[in-house]
Structure formats: structure tokens, C-alpha cells
Amino acid sequence: MPIHYDNNTQIFHLQAGQSSYAMQVSNEGYLCHLYYGKRISQDDLSYLNETGRGASFAPNPADGSPTLDTRLQEFPGAGVGDFRVPAVGVRAANGAYAVELKVVSHAILTGEKPALPGLPAFYLNDANEADTLEITMEDALLGLRVKLYYTAFAGENVITRWAVAENHGTAPLSIENLQSACVDFPRMDLDMVSLHGAWNRERHVERHPLFHGSTVIASRRGSSSHQLNPFAVLCDKHATEHSGSAYGVQLVYSGNFKIEAEVNQMHCTRVTVGINPENFAWRLQPGESFTTPEAVLSYSDEGFGGLSRALHRVTRNNLVRGEWKHKLRPIKINSWEAAYFNFDADKLVAFAREAAKTDVDLLVMDDGWFGLRNDDTTSLGDWFVNEEKLGCSLKELAERVNAEGLDFGIWFEPEMISPDSELYRKHPDWALHIPERGRSLGRRQCVINMALPEVQDYLFDSMSAVLKQANITYLKWDFNRNLTEVFCNSLPANQQGEVGHRFYLGLYDLCERLVQAFPHILFESCSGGGGRFDLGMLYYMPQTWTSDNTDPVDRLKIQWGTSMAYPIMTMGAHVAAPYHGRAGKIGYRAAVATTGAFGYELDPTKLTDEQIAEMRECNAEFRRHQQLVSTGDFYRLVSPYDNDGHYTAWQFVSPDKSETLIQCFTVFNLHNVWDLRVYPQGLDADAQYELDCGAVLHGDTIMHAGLRLQHFGGDFSHRLLFLKKKPPAAEADASQ
């Protein structure tokens, strides 16, 4: 099993897939980090535990033991001699800020993974998948216990970690910082790769070397954000898509986060990941506990590609839940860019009728069906159907759409409240605000205080009432502004630092109630496009709208970047009407969008017969490969960030390596390029594969000599290559 403990050396050795993670309890009781990387034998690694290294201006603990400032530690405290970024910071009742944790006990939970109360988290499908190590540490003076959890997956290079703080003392404690995980690397020759962005330009890949001091990837926007995603990779200088060591750091959380990589005076790197400590403080009364979100650590010696594939698999298998976990997702058509707020039932039914001709599965009625909402100035929170606008009941509308052969879906933005709404007039105090301070508006709306149980109940009841009215099989959950004036009237002054996190506990609670009550509904989260694309939301909603930007050229970079951390099947991707982007051809746009949870965002009543036929063909093509795209291993072959972005290629390989799909895209014509080739990966080297054209080549030939993309070029071209393994001759004969 993946977790071993040696009683003599007090070394814990976790073996997750082909990776090892080792730590040791020192003589003084500190939990010291020994190793993280490629899987190694279970040798005595005590020689790696440097305890005697002093450093000027680094005081020794009161008992005279070596300074903490130069030790590699698992969960460093603050205020007692380790001056690097801490994993935990606690203010005692007397105002003192100091915490020093020592190990008191441990337990190996074989085949188990405890749940994280109220929080999204990875789960096990069966007991053979993972073991969990629980290490209890204590600061006896504070009466504080911190339990560290490490779940090591047996079959993947993935370890998840979280921490639980417990107050065993007699006075309240203020937890001002509690990270989910910390890893000390005895080196600084690392690059960081992170995903930055903005609205309409989400998750672009950026790589930068670490330096002395801190590199911080964080959000203080009250959401995981368009700007920086809760994901980072630390890698060797020479790491590429396909080779070199890479460490992934990720958080299962949708609120304020921080990933910090700090290089210290000893040229060592400390990485912490968790809730952003800024404006965070949790008051822990005696007897109470606080659980952090879960962090995901992953390792690959096959570069970023290997890292992504492991993350894709473990996210698909152990995070995404519910009826839609394994089901192929419907091809949808969404009303937003086709109609914005300007629709009634007849228009939507006409959309359904025309879309049916293209063989689409589902019509989504986006924003504008509730309260008095005809633009974005009003009605968020008034979750009752505007039958006058629709011209009929929701039930009738859904029935009419169903009669055209399509399923029916609906849009909500539950966490928002319009100042011009019945709800706001009744409960102005439900909007997040600070008394006497002005209420900032974003898109003319306030954020509703999800920390309030009465708000959670109101949303559950009002949304359930709508969902029960009609045959609804899909729900798009939007979130269109960031949090300001984060304050809660019902909490005392010394608990206001809890509101940001309580907001997410409230949201997660509501999501859980809704997904349990409506298990057949496919939920898709959204935040003005991809402003909240994170593992927290994916636990409740198996797909996320990747970006409002559906321009296929921009999407190449957005989807490439998103795929670094998230499975392809979780990325909502649509073909929008050409006026919303550069490249008009539906086939090209669809080729990019079919690398995701596919759909359309256009007015189908305006399509020509030729376009309808083209869409039918695109849909058929998507369905042909949907299983492979949904469950295959993803290889990024040619980056849209290289070669001026003129040529991009990526590939899917089925888990049994029997099929592969290679997709290549140009942006602008590549002049005078001789014999453009693509070098697929991940094939069975000895097997023979049959190309679309009927040619047969061995896997090793295809991977190393490459495939020629003859006559491939021109502006906005795409080429799709599908290869199937030839059955061995004997089997082929038998099947005839």
C-alpha cells in the first residue's frame, strides 16, 4: 500500500504511483521534509535531514536545538525562528502571535479518505485506490492541535493534503493563517508555470524562473478568478511538454487563495498553498475545529503533459460526481448570443426547431426569463418565471422544446442580487455590505451574502420551485462580479475575517443540496466565462464555461492553458456566430470547440441550408470521437504560444491505446514551410495503426518519424487525423 512508516527512523514514505514523498519526525518532534519526486526505494533517508546548519541572525529555539530557519519542514509555524512564509499563524487570547508544532501521534487509514466537512474534496471509488496518513501535531502552550492529512493515490502520481486545526485549550484562538499544504524543496533552480488571464482571455500560460524572495499566485477577489487560477507548476529548467520533472500545486477551492513559492537565503524553495491569509481570521473556540480546503500535489517526470494527464484522470475519476460523471454530454445550443435578453417562448421554440435540423441535443434558455429582467439592471434574486414575457408557463415552454426533439436547460445567477429587485426591496441587508459604507456595484448588481442560512434556504426553495415546474435537464450557474464590502451583520467584529470563507461554505452547501435534489440535471458553472474554473466548482458541476470568448484563435490558447490543469470534458466550448470572432468557417470553429463539452451560441433561424448541413456534419464528427475526447489521455503537441501561434496541434489517445485522434490548426497561412509534420505521442510502439487514408504504420514510426500534413496550410485551416490500432493478424482472421 502507498504509505509506510518506519518505527526506528520515524520516517514516513508515501508512494503515490511513480512518485515518492518522505518526511521524518526529528528528535525534537518537528516534522521535517526529506524528499519529493520520482519514486525511490524505501531506504533510510535520515541522511537527508539536515538539522545542524546554522545561519547568522537565525535564532535557536529556547531549548537550544538547531534553528528552524534552515530546516526543511512539513508544516512550519510562525514567530519562533523560521522566518520563511509560514503554513500556520495563530494569535492567542493575549494577542501573542507564535506557533510551533510538534508531532504527537499518527495513524495510517488504509483504504480510506476522510471527508472534508462542508468542502468539496476528492473521494475514493474503492479502498484499493488510496491510503491516508493522519499526523497529529501540537502546540501544547496554545492548546492547539493541527492534524495533517496526506492521501496517496496508489495508481497516480497524486497526493492530496489538507489540515484541521483543533482548539483543545481553554481560551479562544484566532487562526490567522492555515495553509492546506507546504512543501520545502532543497533547491531553487526551478521555474514556475502559472495560468494568468482576464475576462475573455482566461488561463494563458506563463513561465518564469524563481528568484530570491516570493512569487505569489493569488486571488483576493472573493473567487478563484479570471486573473490567476489556483494552479501552478514548479519544474526543472529544462522541463518541456514531454520531458523533465514537474510538480503541480492546486487547490480544491473557489474563493480567495494563495500559492506562494519563496526562495530563501539558503537557496531553498518553500511552496505553500491554501486560503489567502489576507483578510482571513477564524475564531476557534475551545472544542471547535477548522478544516482547510484540499490541496493537490502531483509529480511528473514526463513534463507538463504527464502532469496534466494524471490530473485529468484523477479529476475525472475521483472528483467529478453524479449521474453525469460518465455520461457523454449533450450538444447544446445556448440562447445568449442569439437573443441576449430579447426572447419569448415562440422565439426559443423556433431556435429549437431549427437547431433540431442540425442534430443538437439541448436548448438552453440563458439570462432574462425571470422577474422583470429585460436587461442587466434588474431582477437578480427574483427567481420566479416571467410568464408574461415568455407568453406561457415554463412547463409549456419545456414541453414545446421537447416536442421539437431537444432537451431543455435554464440559467441562474444565484449568488447575486439586483438593487432593483423585489428581493432587495424586501431584504436589503441580504446584500454583502458594510454598514454606512456605499455598496459597490458590478454589472449593476450586488453579491448576496451566501454566509446567511436564510439566504441559502431562500435560494434552495426558490430555485427548486422553478426546477420542479418543468422538464429541465441542464442548469448554467453564472457569477458575474467579484466580492466587495465583505462583511456580515450577524457576526461580531472579531469574526469578520471569516466571512470570505463562510461565503463559500454557504455556496457549497447550497450546491450540495441542489445536486442531491436534482441528480439528473447537468450543472455547468460559469463566471462571466471562465472566472471560476476550479476544482471546487467541478466537484458539484461537472463542466465549466471556459470563456465568453468563443473566437477559435483565442480559444486555442485558452483551451491549451486550461488543459494544463483541467480535463477536456470539463471545458464548455461553443461555436458562436461569426460576428463574435475572426474566423467565420463553422468547421474550423467546431474543430476547436469539439475539444471540450461542445455546443453552439448562435441564432439557428439565421443559418443557410449549407450551414445547417455543415453543423450536422460537425455534430456527427463530434459524436464519432466523443468517447475518446471525454476519456482519452490528452497530449499537447504543438503550442499556440510558440511559432507566432500559427500552428497548433493536440491529440487524444484512448486508455487502451487502440485509437488516437490528432487535431491540427493553423491561424495564418504558413508560407514556404516544407512538409509540415506532426509527431503523435502515447501510442503502442510495437502495434500497427491504420490511418484514415488506409496506410498502416507502426506506433514507433508514427511517434518518431511523424506524420506528414500534406497540403495543410492556408488561413484558419484544420486537419483531423484518426488512427486505429490494427488487431493482431490471428485475431483479425478469427473475427472474419
Q: What angle do CA 235, 42, 48 make, to 5 degrees?
A: 60
Contact 587, 665 (CB under 8 A): no
Report the relative pairing of strands 102-109 and 130-139 from DSSP bridges: antiparallel
- Four-residue CA torsion sign, 334, 200, 325, 648: positive
H/E element, 167: strand 158-167
Binding window for ligand DGJ (CB under 6 A); candidates: 48-56, 174-182, 483-491, 525-533: 525-533
CB nearer to ligand DGJ: give 341 or 487. Answer: 341
d(CA 232, CA 497): 26
* Binding flags for ligand DGJ, 386-415, as an x/- string (CB under 6 A): -------------------------x----
The helix/strand/coil state of 150 is: strand
Cell 510538480 belongs to 247
Nearest to 209 by CA among 230, 229, 193: 193
Contact 571, 563 (CB under 8 A): yes
Contact 624, 359 (CB under 8 A): no
| 575 scored as a contact of ligand DGJ (CB under 6 A) | no
Catalytic residue among 131, 382, 548, 633: 548
Residues 6+ apart with CB under 8 A from 425: none
Residue from 156, 301, 302, 366 that binds ligand DGJ (CB under 6 A)?
366
Residue from 545, 635, 650, 716 that binds ligand DGJ (CB under 6 A)?
545
CB nearer to ligand DGJ: give 381 or 682. Answer: 381
CB nearer to ligand DGJ: give 259 or 338. Answer: 338
Residue from 526, 538, 602, 628 that binds ligand DGJ (CB under 6 A)?
526
Binding window for ligand DGJ (CB under 6 A); candidates: 45-53, 92-100, 175-183, 524-532: 524-532
In this structure, the number of other CB atoms found within 10 A of the CB of residue 117 comes to 11
CB nearer to ligand DGJ: give 445 or 594. Answer: 445
CA–chain centroid gap for 82, Å, is 32
CB nearer to ligand DGJ: give 10 or 445. Answer: 445
| 367 scored as a contact of ligand DGJ (CB under 6 A) | yes
d(CA 131, CA 59): 38
CB of 477 to ligand DGJ, least distance (A): 10
- Four-residue CA torsion sign, 359, 649, 301, 202: negative
CB of 367 to ligand DGJ, least distance (A): 4
Residue whose CB is nearest to ligand DGJ in the complex, by number: 367
CB nearer to ligand DGJ: give 307 or 576. Answer: 576
d(CA 87, CA 606): 57
Given phi > 0 = left and psi -120 to 50 = alpha, else beta, which region is 450?
alpha
Contact 353, 617 (CB under 8 A): no
Contact 263, 211 (CB under 8 A): yes
Binding window for ligand DGJ (CB under 6 A); candidates: 267-275, 354-362, 498-506, 526-534: 526-534
CB nearer to ligand DGJ: give 201 or 718. Answer: 201
**Grid cell listed for 167:** 482548539
CB nearer to ligand DGJ: give 230 or 528. Answer: 528
CB of 479 to ligand DGJ, least distance (A): 9
Give CA separation, 687 vs 101, 682, 726, in Å: 55, 12, 7
Residue from 248, 528, 542, 552 that binds ligand DGJ (CB under 6 A)?
528
Sheet arrangement for strand 647-653: 633-638, 647-653, 659-666, 718-725, 688-690, 696-698
Catalytic residue among 131, 382, 478, 554: 478
CA–chain centroid gap for 72, Å, is 29
CB nearer to ligand DGJ: give 528 or 632. Answer: 528
Residue from 256, 456, 480, 648 that binds ligand DGJ (CB under 6 A)?
480
| 343 scored as a contact of ligand DGJ (CB under 6 A) | no
| 529 scored as a contact of ligand DGJ (CB under 6 A) | yes
Question: How many binding residues for ligand DGJ (CB under 6 A)?
Answer: 11
| 370 scored as a contact of ligand DGJ (CB under 6 A) | no
H/E element, 37: strand 31-38
d(CA 601, CA 579): 11
Residue from 74, 382, 548, 633 that binds ligand DGJ (CB under 6 A)?
548
CB of 419 to ligand DGJ, least distance (A): 17
CB of 251 to ligand DGJ, least distance (A): 23
d(CA 435, CA 489): 8
CB of 507 to ligand DGJ, least distance (A): 17
**Grid cell listed for 440:** 459597490
| 421 scored as a contact of ligand DGJ (CB under 6 A) | no
| 361 scored as a contact of ligand DGJ (CB under 6 A) | no
Report CA Rg, the chain: 27
Give CA separation, 252 vs 151, 297, 537, 566, in Å: 14, 11, 8, 12
CB of 224 to ligand DGJ, least distance (A): 15
H/E element, 610: helix 609-631
CB nearer to ligand DGJ: give 274 or 528. Answer: 528
Residue from 129, 241, 262, 478 that binds ligand DGJ (CB under 6 A)?
478
CB of 658 to ligand DGJ, least distance (A): 37
CB of 376 to ligand DGJ, least distance (A): 6
CB nearer to ligand DGJ: give 224 or 245. Answer: 224
Nearest to 259 by CA among 194, 189, 330: 194
- Four-residue CA torsion sign, 66, 72, 77, 81: positive
Binding window for ligand DGJ (CB under 6 A); candidates: 32-40, 41-49, 522-530, 605-613: 522-530
What DSSP letter does each residue of 643-667 carry, written as one string?
Answer: GGG-EEEEEEE-TTSSEEEEEEEES
CB of 595 to ligand DGJ, least distance (A): 19
| 336 scored as a contact of ligand DGJ (CB under 6 A) | yes
CB of 545 to ligand DGJ, least distance (A): 6
d(CA 254, CA 293): 10
CB of 525 to ligand DGJ, least distance (A): 10
Binding window for ligand DGJ (CB under 6 A); candidates: 343-351, 390-398, 523-531, 553-561: 523-531
| 383 scored as a contact of ligand DGJ (CB under 6 A) | no
CB nearer to ligand DGJ: give 550 or 631. Answer: 550
d(CA 320, CA 524): 12
478 is catalytic: yes
Residues belonging to the active site: 478, 548
Positions that interact with ligand DGJ (CB under 6 A): 336, 366-367, 411, 478, 480, 526, 528-529, 545, 548
